[in-house]
Amino acid sequence: MRRGKSEAATVAARELGPVQRIEIVGDRRRQHGEAFRAEVVTASLVAGARVQDVARRHGICASLVYRWRRAAATADGSSALRLVPVRITEEAPAPTRSVPVPTGISAARRPGMIEIELAGGVCVRVDEAVNATALRRIISVLRG
């Protein structure tokens, strides 16, 4: 004979007798110490590290890593993000090094020209067709 859900629960309660109270708490948040936070932030700032991978390795959400990075940057007063002065010019200045120009486009009229000035007087000029990965590598080498 088949029993319904409510009938099965009643029978189970009668047969098992009194049961200790079990409390299930699912709303409490884990507390992470400063040392753990610093370790995670340091691991996320290593060159080539992905925040998602660092978070997964430590068993936390990636948004926590971003939050802790922001907090660490504002706590010591030095932020990894800085505003830099930008000048918009009508024409791109002539390149100091020979840069291959696509056929049919003059150097002064290339659209989307970006000039990046690094410390030590190093200047990098790129246009909109630049490979972002290659540019990151070049800038990291020039900064190093």
Residue 111 is given by DSSP the state T
Over residues 82-139, the pLDDT tens digits come to: 677 887 777 665 555 555 555 554 545 556 788 888 777 778 888 888 888 888 888 8
Q: How many Å apart are CA 97 and CA 119, to the nearest integer? A: 18
Mean pLDDT (whole number) for 56-77: 87
**Quick check: 119 and 113 in contact, CB under 8 A?**
no
Which amino acid, residue 74?
T
Over residues 3-49, the pLDDT tens digits come to: 555 565 555 556 555 667 777 666 667 888 999 999 999 999 988 89
Which amino acid, residue 9?
A
